[in-house]
């Protein structure tokens, strides 16, 4: 029977407007399955109503890491709209073990 786990695996405190950041995560076996989601939050010194907080998550390459495990790359792009749209983003992983 498969065992699911939900875990925060990484967070950025400040991503500038229109900036893209990436993350390479290793340690997966050949039979593991992982899905990612993000939770963006406003980190600017502007009123919350002045910024529409948005971010886009994109999957990158999946490849074999030097330690033999599978590594996955994800990218987060700050697509927020407004003055000084600095955001923080938490990366949440849903991982299913066989």
* Residue extents of the structural domains in the chain: 3-97
Per-residue pLDDT of the chain (98 residues; tens, 9 = 90+): 788 999 999 999 999 999 999 999 999 999 999 999 999 999 988 887 899 999 999 999 999 999 999 999 999 999 999 998 999 999 999 999 88
Task: Supply the pTM of this predicted model.
Answer: 0.90
What does the pLDDT read at residue 26?
Answer: 95
What does the pLDDT read at residue 2?
Answer: 84
Beta-strand relationship, 33-42 and 20-28: unpaired
What does the pLDDT read at residue 54?
Answer: 96
C-alpha span between 50 and 12 (Å, rounded): 21
């Amino acid at each position: 029977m498969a065992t699911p786990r939900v875990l925060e695996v990484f967070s950025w405190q400040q991503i500038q407007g229109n900036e893209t950041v990436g993350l390479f995560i290793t340690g997966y076996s050949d039979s593991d399955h992982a899905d990612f989601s993000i939770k963006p939050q406003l980190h600017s010194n502007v009123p919350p109503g002045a910024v529409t907080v948005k971010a886009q998550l994109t999957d990158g390459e999946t490849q074999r890491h030097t330690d033999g495990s599978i590594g996955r790359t994800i990218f987060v792009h700050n697509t927020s709209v407004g003055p000084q749209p600095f955001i923080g983003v938490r990366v949440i992983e849903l991982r299913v073990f066989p």
